[in-house]
Structures are given as structure tokens and as C-alpha cells.
Structure 1
């Protein structure tokens, strides 16, 4: 299945849309499309999970405290 070989080339939005369509087709009437969608769904889910794991954790930036203000009465 050529589509399964190219899942890594899709961006996240396209992969999400592909997952939604595969879920819709898998829930449809029996046929080749349903079998293909059922085959693709675990592969799509695995690709999405791999992307989540590969995403680096957010880096916390240490902020310096602002110097204390001194009030000067005139």
C-alpha cells in the first residue's frame, strides 16, 4: 500500500484529516475501502504517536528579577 509508505511525508494537519477519513471509511459498509481504512488506522495512529514523542519538551526560560524600585519623595 503506497499510502502507508508515505505517512511520514504528511504534515500534522494532513495526517489528522487522513485519520478522520480513515475512521469514517472504516465505519462504513463492508468492502475494500473499509478493509484499507482498517489497515491504515493503526499506522496513522503510530505515526501521530511517534511525532508526539519526538517533539522536544518546552524549554523554560529563567527570567531575571527586575531591580527593586526605590521611591524618591520630592
Structure 2
């Protein structure tokens, strides 16, 4: 699914999912740079992000994959 990742002074990193009209803050990330790992957003979803350069500028729209509950393991 397409998601937009941006940084705001109030909430830090957030993810917007246009098809769901959903915006949630990132509460946990596998990697400090975000890219190539998973992120957990406030509603509990875990999204796999594509590998990208650590200095990728935000905001950016990327294809992310939502993990199913059975894959989460945490």
C-alpha cells in the first residue's frame, strides 16, 4: 500500500495512509533510519518499509507492506 512518511515538530514521525484516510504517529521502529525494516504505528499496525538511503528526505511516499497479526510475533 502507498503511504506517506513525514516528520512534524509536534509528533515526530508519522505515517499517512491515503486509501484509509488514516494518519498515525510512529511509535517503534526496527532501524533508527527506518528503511528496510518494520515500523509500528499508534493504531498497532506494523508496516514493512523498503530499503532506501539513510539520508532520504521527508516527506516521501513509498510502498509499504502491512504485516499480518500472525507474522508480528511481538
Query: 1 or 2, which has the higher strand percentage?
Result: 2
TM-score tier after normalising by the smaller chain length: under 0.3
Query: 1 or 2, which has the higher helix percentage?
Result: 1
For the pair shown, the structure with the greater C-alpha radius of gyration is 1
TM-score (norm 1): 0.22
